Amino acid sequence: MSETKQISVQKSAEAAAAKAAELFRETIRQAVQQRGRCAIALAGGTTPRLMYQRLADEAVVDRVPWGQVDLFFGDERDVPQDDVESNFGVAQKMMLDHLPIDWERVHPMRADADDLDSASDEYEQIIRRVVPAGPDGIPQFDLVMLGMGGDGHTASLFPDSPILGEGKRLVVACHVPVLGRNRMTMTFPLINASRHIVMLVTGDDKAGVVERVIRQEDQSLPAARVYPVRGTLHYVLDTAAARLL
Ligand code: 6PG
């Protein structure tokens, strides 16, 4: 693997979650030490839950300056924040409610807004206001957490979606035909501007798509188009998901 691309394969989903939690904490400590703040975008789906649990359980001893973290979301479903499907709701219940964070610095996506396009634009403006821009003028997150769907999607960037080619907007609303639902999602220009990207993928059902993304770099799969312009990409896998590598 190159300097910019790393792979960690852990013996179980729990060990992969622990590795991701360690990277998560270390990124915050380093960013706050160097720049006095840390901007993070959380992933959705079910995989991050073990990592959230880990971060919450170890908050009392982790020496992490949680109060200096600006927390965003990589994507969100078109449901209220207290819905079981809400990426924010899951993060809040499993992690945020148990951390000494500054709630003023937590920014949920309003993906259940009536006007999703305006809500996406507003979210992009919050990011532009809060997250310092990198050399190319794009807000530069310290860490973007991502998952990988069985069809190779990541965030809410699905195969064959017209937003895969979005080159200007940083946050967009989209309809996902395969789900029959609307989503709000960060786009590749914003994701790939991040200092660090961690893609946490576990489970035997992901082995095929992991091989296509990591070994084949199959560009028909959105997850294979995650590539930091000047940062690092760290795949954190369990042995089941890495089975075909
Ligand atoms: C979402 C996520 C999505 C997720 C993958 C993997 O809102 O669903 O952003 O990209 O990371 O679908 O989901 P699982 O972790 O549930 O397998």
Asked if residue 182 has its Cβ within 6 Å of ligand 1, the reply is: no
Asked if residue 153 has its Cβ within 6 Å of ligand 1, the reply is: yes
Mean of per-residue pLDDT scores for the chain: 97
100 half-sphere exposure, CB direction, 13 A CA radius? 11
| Cα 38 to ligand 1 centre (Å) | 23
The residue to which tokens 């940062």 are assigned: 231
Ligand 1 atom closest to the CA of 74, numbered from 1: 9
Tell me the pLDDT band of 3, cut-offs 50, 70 and 90.
Answer: low
Ligand 1 atom closest to the CA of 146, numbered from 1: 11
The confidence score (pLDDT) of residue 60 equals 86
The CA distance from 176 to 187, in Å, is 14
The CA distance from 13 to 30, in Å, is 26
Query: Does the predicted TM-score (pTM) go above 0.95?
Result: yes
Helix (H, G, I), strand (E, B) or coil at 48: helix
Asked if residue 47 has its Cβ within 6 Å of ligand 1, the reply is: yes
Residues pairing with 76 in the sheet: 184
The mean pLDDT of 185-205, rounded to a whole number, is 98
| Cα 33 to ligand 1 centre (Å) | 31
Q: 42, 75, 206: which to mutate for ligand 1, most atoms within 8 A of CB?
A: 75
The confidence score (pLDDT) of residue 81 equals 97
The mean pLDDT of 43-57, rounded to a whole number, is 97
Q: How are beta strands 232-238 and 196-201 bridged, if at all?
A: parallel
The CA distance from 96 to 102, in Å, is 10
Asked if residue 17 has its Cβ within 6 Å of ligand 1, the reply is: no
Asked if residue 154 has its Cβ within 6 Å of ligand 1, the reply is: yes
| Cα 75 to ligand 1 centre (Å) | 9
Q: What is the pLDDT of residues 212-241, one digit of tens each?
A: 999 999 999 999 999 999 999 999 999 999
